[in-house]
Amino acid sequence: MQEFQPDLYRPDQNLWKRDRPKSLVQTPIFDLVSCHTESPDGKVSRDFFHLVSKDWVNIIALTPENKILLIDQYRHGLNRYSLEIPGGIAEKNTLLESAQAELREETGHISEEWEYLGKVSGNPAVFDNWCHTFLAKNVHPDGHGQELDESERIEVFEYSLEKIPELIERNILHHGMMVAALGMFFIKNPPKK
């Protein structure tokens, strides 16, 4: 086994040969496609399947009192409610505009102070997209309230930022993309002891 060397890592070299994707199923959120794919050594050659989706955004929204905005909404996949940070599909012209729209629509809050924290892949085994995280500081109500999609029912909460790790530990806040976003935030902004 060799030691990993980040400066030499090239994830876009020696790629598997892939035929043009064939669309199998189209939905409003993603498309299921198949691609005939062959490994560089030629030992694997078969159809693989993945989901094509727009990028996602999520937002760590902090009030002037350093409280974080959390949302609670029903999630069809788990058939339960899920406590999360605001976020959604990046559908605007830029990622920042998408993040700003999601914050306003889901919470009724806005911010003039935005910072890009980074991106993660949701599940590179099956998804082709990225999830981008933004920090919004000094969020405040926009005066118009939520602008939810027809199928959304979202309750908004404020919570102490310092207590977020406890919610993750207790699996109350469990959405993988949200936990990753909070991890990026806490790496750049370690909690004060």
Residue-wise pLDDT tens digits, 108-166: 999 999 999 999 998 999 999 999 999 999 999 998 888 778 888 889 999 999 999 99
Residue-wise pLDDT tens digits, 147-159: 778 888 889 999 9
DSSP code at position 149: -
- Which positions ≥6 away from 149 have C-beta within 8 Å? 105
Residues 58, 70: Cα–Cα separation, whole Å? 11
Q: Stretch 20-39: mean pLDDT, rounded?
A: 96
Amino acid identity for residue 94 in this structure: T
Domains of the chain and any CATH numbers: 14-53 (no CATH), 56-188 (3.90.79.10)
CB atoms within 10 A of CB 106: 25
Q: In the block, which residue shows the tokens 């050659």?
A: 45
The three-class DSSP label of residue 70 is strand
Share of the chain above pLDDT 70, in %: 99
In order, the DSSP letters of 128-151 are: ---EEEEEEES-EE-SS-----TT
Residues 78, 98: Cα–Cα separation, whole Å? 25
Global pTM reads 0.92
Residue 81: in which H helix or E strand, if any? strand 80-84
Which residues on neighbouring strands pair with residue 109, listed in sequence order?
Answer: 141
Q: Stretch 24-41: mean pLDDT, rounded?
A: 95
CB atoms within 10 A of CB 93: 8
